[in-house]
Amino acid sequence: MLEAPIVQYVGAQAARDTRREDILKLLAARLQPAAARAFKPALDTIENAQQLEALFDAAIQIESVEEFRNVLEASGN
């Protein structure tokens, strides 16, 4: 059975929201909670799931706030 377009849209939006939250949790754990909160407005504007996935991967590997900021800027934000 096929899902209605609205169900697909809501599911995709929920997945993006979850990925944004995951990125912020990682940044808070690896850096500082205040630093993570500073990235929330920029992350909230990203709708591309692949871009969010790449940022999640970067959040796992970065060593500083500046590193993540550079990755975020390089991704177009």
Per-residue pLDDT of the chain (77 residues; tens, 9 = 90+): 677 888 888 888 999 999 999 999 999 999 989 988 999 999 999 999 999 999 999 999 999 999 999 999 998 87
Can you give the pLDDT at residue 77? Answer: 75
Can you give the pLDDT at residue 1? Answer: 60
Q: Tokens representing 70?
A: 């550079």
Q: Helix 5-30 and helix 49-61: axis angle, to 10°?
A: 20
Residue 15's alpha-carbon distances to 18, 33, 35, 45, 58, in angstroms, are 5, 22, 23, 14, 18
Can you give the pLDDT at residue 76? Answer: 83
pTM comes to 0.88
